[in-house]
Amino acid sequence: MLFQHNNVGLFHFISRQFLSKPHLFSSISSSPRLNKTSCIQYLKNCESMTHLKQIQTQIFRVGLHQNHDTLNKLMVFCTDPSLGNLHYAEKIFNYIQNPSLFIYNVLIKAFAKKGSFRKSISVFGQLRKHGLWPDNFTYPYVFKAIGCLGESWKGAKVHGFVVKTGLEFDTYVCNSLMDMYAELGKVENFKKLFDEMPERDKVSWNVMISGYVRRRRFEDAVNVFWQMRRESNEKPDEATVVSTLSACTTLKNLELGKEIHGYVANELGFTTVIGNALLDMYAKCGCLSVARQIFDEMHTKNVICWTSMVSGYVNCGELDEARKLFEKSPTRDIVLWTAMINGYVQFNCFDEAVALFREMQIRRVKPDKFTVVALLTGCAQLGALEQGKWIHGYIDENRISVDTVVGTSLIEMYAKCGCVEKSLDIFYELKEKDTASWTSIICALAMNGKTSKALELFLEMKQAGATPDDITFIGVLSACGHGGLVEEGRQFFNSMTKQYEIEPKLEHYGCLIDLLGRAGKLDEAEKLIEEVPKENSEILVPLYGSLLSACRIHGDVEMGERVAEWLVKIESSDSSIHMLLANIYASADRWEDVTKVRRKMKDLGVKKVPGCSSIEVNGIVHEFVVGDPSHSEMREIYSMLDRLARPLLDSEESEIEREILVPVCWSGPSTRVALCNDSYVLHLILQRKVDPLVNLMKVEKVLDSTYDMIGGLD
């Protein structure tokens, strides 16, 4: 018997439910004589689960429930994603005593396609338990399930079954096995499989290219595309083109992108999917005219192409064009709204971003986590704490899940607004913590000078099993810099390269050089710069700039001159180099050299870039630029700044006077400008809370901390 005895109850229930009503068989006798052929024909023509259950009742009545072909058709219909019912299919499966391999395969496939990956693997386990040998239709969906679950050990185990069944070189199985390893991040595994394949079809090449793209190995993806063109008779199809264009987009490989465009135009032909990929590639490579031409010529425009075109304008800073296109879009999904909001944030148009967000709410478009992340990023950039709190409240009120993505943005926003304790609260409330969230809180603490806590959490991160990445170590090294922990900084830098095999980037060298420079170890810092791998000298400019700043702090005129001379050869128009050198000379009382530096700046046409600062007061963000008196309360601000500066100028014992208030580099108006560049002072003034005598110590501290920015002002 194919069915167990307890299936009688199931089919009696179906009989009672459907035979008492008009149904598919109402035009024939109450006991229709079905044979296998007519039964299968009925199942082929079945249009709903109601009809299927009626047919199933008749199948049982005439004894065809033992027939393999009938059961196969029954399961195929029940697992159909559009017409069937997977739960019902599972129920029928559980009543079959000895399911065939075909039925197992149908159910494994159905569960995998629905996303019920554990059930798919469970059915595979039952198949093995019942002594059946999987075939090349079984494995692909099992591998898909394992890849999506991220269970590498299980993938290796099932790979072993494949070898035992002699299917390791079956193209269909091998393609799915490569795809699983790509999903699991096992690059060497899927490359080895690809290299050893006796025969490769088009899918094999596509899996290899898309696998590299998924693992962000874009150069490798492009190389496989060229290999396909050289070595294979297979011609690239839509999947090949889209994956390769994705790699071109990230690499900004416009030359290859144009070649693929030519291939599409001359051989393959355009589809909406290919059009979207080409449009996105040209837009992200800055070729907006070509992107717009493709966009205008597309017969069918979906929301993806509208979003790509809007994003292209946004990324090139053409916000007006982006907004015009946004307004013309017939369909605006959440991705398009978020792209436009993110564009405003990216180019510091925060008011426009908030206004668009409010319009989005009026139109009843529900924001997702990426929308609020874009807004939180804007708040962080401006230090707009009150706005950030409002968005945080909106997240809570609308029950937007605070996952690691949203949580990380909240941590960064509060940290950059100076509320590091609130950042810690958010971090501890996160149910799940990934590398990004650990990194975010470590960087937040480092930014706010909380060295001990930052390093404490770095230790906790490792104990929790999270793996630090390159950005984590930037935060850790920055924390060491704030705390003056030279030896610890060296140790962390070494462990990054040796223990975690992370290639040091310019930022890591910069942190360590800054740490050594602050500690007065200038020779060691210079030696480290010389060890930095470099393709060209330009990449060393930020590192030598940091060393020059350290020379100013420690008064090393000889090294300062040497470093400044090197920097001027590369970046002669950078005003900060000249200003730092002038301040080094000023600290050494070499006023003639200060004058020479300033004269050289004038001859070269180098002008100091105006400083810019912003502060949020009572929910309103105020921006200030040096030399711009357009603020509505600037007269009152200047008056207050003069009152603050006077005691400093009159004090002969002031540390500020000894270091900064020198004849060439400083005067009364400069003091005003310097103060005007500090958000804390402006906050106090705008709140009408400044008393020059009471706050003098605070202002001195402010001026000292902004020395590098203001040194050398007229």
CATH of the domain at 537: 1.25.40.10
**Which percentage of the chain shows pLDDT scores above 90?**
33
The three-class DSSP label of residue 614 is: strand
Output the pLDDT for position 693. Answer: 37
Residue 597 Cα distances to 232, 499, 616, angstroms? 64, 46, 37
Output the pLDDT for position 376. Answer: 93
Half-sphere exposure of 551 (CA within 13 A, CB side): 28
Residue partners of 524: CB distance under 8 A and separation at least 6? 516
Cβ–Cβ under 8 Å, residues 713 and 608: yes
Output the pLDDT for position 699. Answer: 40
Question: And the tokens for 220?
Answer: 């490798």
pLDDT tens-digit map of 559-611: 999 998 898 888 777 888 888 888 888 888 888 888 888 888 887 877 766 66
pLDDT tens-digit map of 655-711: 433 333 333 333 333 444 444 444 445 555 555 444 443 333 334 434 444 443 333
Question: And the tokens for 390?
Answer: 């409002």
Question: pLDDT at residue 18 above 50?
Answer: no
- Decide which of 462 and 27 is more confident: 462
pLDDT tens-digit map of 96-119: 778 888 888 888 998 898 888 999
Output the pLDDT for position 86. Answer: 74
- Inside any domain, residue 282: no
- Inside any domain, residue 695: yes
Question: pLDDT at residue 474 above 80?
Answer: yes
Output the pLDDT for position 463. Answer: 92
Output the pLDDT for position 22. Answer: 42
- Decide which of 146 and 47 is more confident: 146
pLDDT tens-digit map of 177-187: 999 999 988 88
Cα distance between residue 232 and residue 202, in whole Å:
9
Question: And the tokens for 529?
Answer: 């710069």
Output the pLDDT for position 535. Answer: 72
Q: 509: part of which helix (H) or strand (E)?
A: helix 506-518
Domain finish residue from 98, 120, 141: 98
Cβ–Cβ under 8 Å, residues 542 and 506: yes
- Looking at the fold, whether 560 and 538 belong to one and the same domain comes out as yes
Domain count within the chain: 3
Cα distance between residue 277 and residue 242, in whole Å:
6
Query: Considering only 60-64, 155-159, 288-292, which range has the smallest mean pLDDT?
Result: 60-64
Cα distance between residue 638 and residue 669, in whole Å:
9
The three-class DSSP label of residue 57 is: helix
Cα distance between residue 584 and residue 561, in whole Å:
9
- Inside any domain, residue 398: no
Length of the chain: 714
Of residues 332, 314, 237, 223, the one with CA closest to residue 277: 237
Query: What is the chain's mean pLDDT, rounded?
Result: 80
Residue 673 Cα distances to 272, 277, 360, 620, 677, angstroms? 56, 50, 40, 22, 6
Cα distance between residue 97 and residue 561, in whole Å:
88
Cβ–Cβ under 8 Å, residues 23 and 52: no
Place 25 in a pLDDT band, splitting at 50, 70 and 90. very low
Average pLDDT over residues 8-13: 46
Cα distance between residue 691 and residue 686, in whole Å:
12
Question: pLDDT at residue 314 above 60?
Answer: yes
Residue 583: give the domain boundaries.
436-604
Rounded to the nearest 10 degrees, what angle do helices 303-315 and 319-328 cross at? 170
Q: Is 30 exposed, middle or buried (0-12, 13-18, 19+ CB in 10 A)?
A: exposed
DSSP annotation of 300 reads: S
- Looking at the fold, whether 600 and 616 belong to one and the same domain comes out as no
Output the pLDDT for position 602. Answer: 84
Of residues 445, 298, 448, the one with CA closest to residue 458: 445
Output the pLDDT for position 261. Answer: 92
- Residue whose entry in the numeric block shows the structure tokens 């072909």: 69
Alpha-carbon dihedral sign for residues 59, 65, 69, 70: positive
Average pLDDT over residues 522-534: 90
pLDDT tens-digit map of 323-368: 999 999 888 889 999 999 999 998 888 889 989 999 998 998 888 8
- Residue whose entry in the numeric block shows the structure tokens 């603490």: 445
- Inside any domain, residue 494: yes
- Inside any domain, residue 174: no
Place 210 in a pLDDT band, splitting at 50, 70 and 90. very high
- Looking at the fold, whether 535 and 560 belong to one and the same domain comes out as yes
pLDDT tens-digit map of 141-165: 999 999 998 888 998 998 998 888 8
- Inside any domain, residue 146: no
- Decide which of 218 and 681 is more confident: 218
- Looking at the fold, whether 521 and 567 belong to one and the same domain comes out as yes
- Looking at the fold, whether 467 and 599 belong to one and the same domain comes out as yes
Domain finish residue from 51, 71, 98: 98
pLDDT tens-digit map of 425-473: 999 999 989 999 999 999 999 999 899 999 999 999 999 988 899 999 9
Residue partners of 471: CB distance under 8 A and separation at least 6? 439, 443
Q: Which long-range contacts (CB under 8 A, 24 or more apart) does 326-335 make?
A: 329/303, 331/302, 331/303, 331/306, 332/303, 332/306, 332/365, 333/303, 333/307, 334/365, 334/366, 334/367, 334/368, 334/370, 334/371, 335/303, 335/307, 335/370
Residue 237 Cα distances to 55, 213, 260, 637, 696, angstroms? 42, 16, 11, 66, 71
Residue 309 Cα distances to 218, 239, 291, 338, 621, angstroms? 23, 21, 7, 14, 31
- Residue whose entry in the numeric block shows the structure tokens 């205008």: 296
- Looking at the fold, whether 624 and 566 belong to one and the same domain comes out as no
∠ CA(440), CA(624), CA(378), 5° rounding?
Answer: 30
- Looking at the fold, whether 548 and 450 belong to one and the same domain comes out as yes
Residue 625 Cα distances to 397, 478, 614, angstroms? 37, 28, 9
Place 62 in a pLDDT band, splitting at 50, 70 and 90. low
pTM of model > 0.85: no
DSSP annotation of 620 reads: E
Output the pLDDT for position 54. Answer: 67
Question: pLDDT at residue 223 above 90?
Answer: yes
The three-class DSSP label of residue 61 is: helix
Question: pLDDT at residue 649 above 80?
Answer: no
Place 310 in a pLDDT band, splitting at 50, 70 and 90. very high
Output the pLDDT for position 28. Answer: 40
- Inside any domain, residue 65: yes
Output the pLDDT for position 26. Answer: 43
Cβ–Cβ under 8 Å, residues 391 and 375: yes
Output the pLDDT for position 84. Answer: 65
Place 13 in a pLDDT band, splitting at 50, 70 and 90. very low
- Inside any domain, residue 113: no
- Looking at the fold, whether 698 and 585 belong to one and the same domain comes out as no
- Looking at the fold, whether 478 and 620 belong to one and the same domain comes out as no
- Residue whose entry in the numeric block shows the structure tokens 């051989």: 267
Cα distance between residue 244 and residue 240, in whole Å:
6
Cα distance between residue 44 and residue 459, in whole Å:
63
Cα distance between residue 526 and residue 686, in whole Å:
44
Residue 592 Cα distances to 237, 471, 598, 670, angstroms? 71, 44, 10, 21
Question: And the tokens for 354?
Answer: 């908030």
Domain finish residue from 576, 604, 632: 604
Query: Considering only 41-55, 374-388, 394-408, which range has the smallest mean pLDDT?
Result: 41-55
Output the pLDDT for position 42. Answer: 65
- Looking at the fold, whether 587 and 502 belong to one and the same domain comes out as yes
In sequence order, what are the beta bridge partners of 617?
Answer: 620
**Which percentage of the chain shows pLDDT scores above 70?**
76
Output the pLDDT for position 134. Answer: 87
Output the pLDDT for position 5. Answer: 40
- Looking at the fold, whether 499 and 588 belong to one and the same domain comes out as yes
- Looking at the fold, whether 619 and 694 belong to one and the same domain comes out as yes
Alpha-carbon dihedral sign for residues 516, 517, 522, 527: positive
Of residues 320, 318, 322, 321, the one with CA closest to residue 338: 322
